[in-house]
Structure 1
């Protein structure tokens, strides 16, 4: 969230916060390449994906610290090594099962690394694309896993974002996914402001999808979600929407969405 405003590790207050985060993430890197701190109820691959994305953005904006590159390379290799036979990833760093939510984290991390000049095997991306396509339902939405299940707008946003970050920008899967999003939670649906347990998670990916899609889709989507987030900010400056995710997470996600058009982060640069 701080980097989305153009800040980098440095001596000013925001820079010091980013430096502390960088030092922490580097310290959490293991010999296997896994970046993991305390154990979580869902395993470490969510955190690993976001931590690798962070390192990719740091390295892409300033590649002077060799520790960042070395840790990033090992983290990327762990993602490559733990992709399952279907082409996706799940909670733990083993190639067993997979879901859309963890897969988008790994694909965004790989895209950030590749943007920064780190080698990412094409086969890994191709297999991830096949997996995501296999998770799309006939209604255009995406289910949680390859196994039969209902569509939902947050994971549909994640599914379309995965295709975008894999380098696919126009095809039927993307068009049907965006149409599903517009119908489910778009500006004309009357449901964009509905607070749910996945409100911030969903809009984090949905806003990326519409930002990359551009054109009228972005022009109609952006003013509504921008005003909705501004309106839901607490008086202390945080976003604590009572969705069981905490103010720290909520504030960071809201700030990333609100600052996306600045394009300071390499992952958001077109």
Structure 2
């Protein structure tokens, strides 16, 4: 695998208009056509490229005319669009242009007047909203589409207006004294950072409260309190609600801190150790369609190891990549299954296949670095840009 054009990696940092000009009349799609951009030969293998293409083909083949894969969860539909975007496919252009456009249009057209990106059960308001808003941020950064931009602007205002007094969020789109759990914070954190990457302004007070909320979900395992020396020196992990520590929440906490530029926070290495330990325990099962962990956990684990980088990325990513390749369903005689993965815990049926396949494709496409969220380096000024502060060592 040869190293491809660096322009596609850093192009969006130049701004969409300049990037399009440099790439030529076809804009991003022309640069994407040059192939994936990789930092090293080991990131992408012929097998992972083939698995990614099979997964995208399944998404295209099973999408349906409305663009929603029989799901009314705008977050899941957004993930379907994200799978195509992460592989360099742009709305209305090229091989999967129609498919990614239909998925994005389904999200945008079903946005509520309030900006809320949820038409399913109200108990899933902020899950769907945060995830869909994140995808719209990435899509806007890659297209500059004003329709997407308007929906994103309203979505960001709703995130700010529904933030709870302690810096978290409730499952429903409403302001409360206390947020419910870390899984809701990470959804909104990614939406906010996605917006920052694509030129939107984010209120500093919203980010500062979010950072405080995330740190509040860290639990020292030696009965230490808060940020004191004993907590820093002893073991600990991010939790769902202050009590339940899972690999998903370890990754979610890391992702939140990284998204907000808190790269030196002492909690990050402790949780990365926990993630690496769990990744090393994974066992391959050929062709059963089950993604490593579950789709939700895999989504954040993949991003955590990418954002932290270094040895974590070099050691853990090939394990996840190769397990996805091995687990993918290969049944050419069954078009409804061939090339898919499925979630193993939270979502079932065709929406579960949508969830698993979208996350699987996203993970395999990370080395392409087409998404704005994947192109950002460890820029120190980001802390000031979003209102964060360096965590004391």
- Select the residue among 127, 130, 133 that pairs with 1:49: 130
Q: Secondary structure at the match of 1:171?
A: coil
**What is the correspondence of 1:66-85 to structure 2 with a 5 Å cutoff?**
66-85=146-165
Structure 1: distance between partners of 2:258 and 2:308: 9
Deviation at 1:10, TM superposition (A): 0.8
The Cα of 1:234 is off from its aligned counterpart by 0.5
1:197–1:243 Cα contact (<8 Å) kept: no
Distance in 1 (CA, whole Å) between partners of 2:137 and 2:270 is 30
CA distance in 1, matches of 2:205, 2:375: 24
Q: CA deviation at 1:197?
A: 9.7
C-alpha distance in structure 2 between counterparts of 1:237 and 1:123, whole Å: 44
Runs of 4+ that moved beyond 4 A: 192-198
Once the two structures are superposed, the pairs formed by residues 1-270 of structure 1 within 5 Å of their partners are 1-39=83-121, 42-63=123-144, 65-96=145-176, 97-138=179-220, 139-145=235-241, 148-183=242-277, 185-187=278-280, 190-191=281-282, 199-235=294-330, 236-240=338-342, 242-243=344-345, 245=347, 246-270=352-376
Structure 1 range deviating more: 223-232 or 30-39: 30-39
C-alpha separation in 2, matches of 1:127 and 1:46: 19
In 2, are the aligned partners of 1:196 and 1:243 still within 8 Å (CA)?
Answer: no
Does the residue aligned with 1:86 lie in a helix, a strand or coil?
coil
CA distance in 2, matches of 1:44, 1:247: 21
Distance of 1:193 and 1:140 partners within structure 2:
28
Helix, strand or coil: the match of 2:236? coil
Aligned length: 263
User: What SS does structure 1 have at the residue aligned with 2:261?
Assistant: coil
- Tell me: higher relative CO, structure 1 or 2? Use CA pairs within 8 A at least 6 residues apart: 2
Q: What do you get for the CA RMSD once the two structures are aligned?
A: 1.9
Separation in structure 2 between the aligned mates of residue 244 and residue 102 of structure 1, nearest angstrom: 15
In the superposition, the TM-score normalised over structure 1's length comes to 0.91
Q: What is the distance in 2 between the residues matched to 1:196 and 1:21?
A: 23
Taking the aligned partners of 1:8 and 1:223, their CA distance within structure 2 comes to 27
After superposition, the Cα gap between the structure-2 partners of 1:130 and 1:242, relative to the gap in structure 1 and judged at 3 Å, is closer
Change beyond 3 A, Cα 1:48–1:244: closer
SS in structure 2 at match of 1:25 = helix
- The CA deviation string for residues 182-232 of structure 1, in whole angstroms up to 9 with x for no partner, is 23x133xx2465979952211211111111111111110011111111111
Shift of 1:29: 1.5
Q: Distance in 2 between matches of 1:193 and 1:150?
A: 27
Report if the CA contact (8 A) 1:161-1:205 is conserved.
Answer: yes
CA distance in 1 between partners of 2:292 and 2:121 (Å): 22
Larger radius of gyration: 2
CA contact (8 A) 2:284 2:327 kept: no
Distance 1:237 1:143 in 2: 34
> Is residue 192–residue 202 contact of structure 2 (8 Å, CA) maintained in 1?
yes
The 2-side partners of 1:242 and 1:150 are apart by: 20
Change (3 A) 1:49 1:258: same
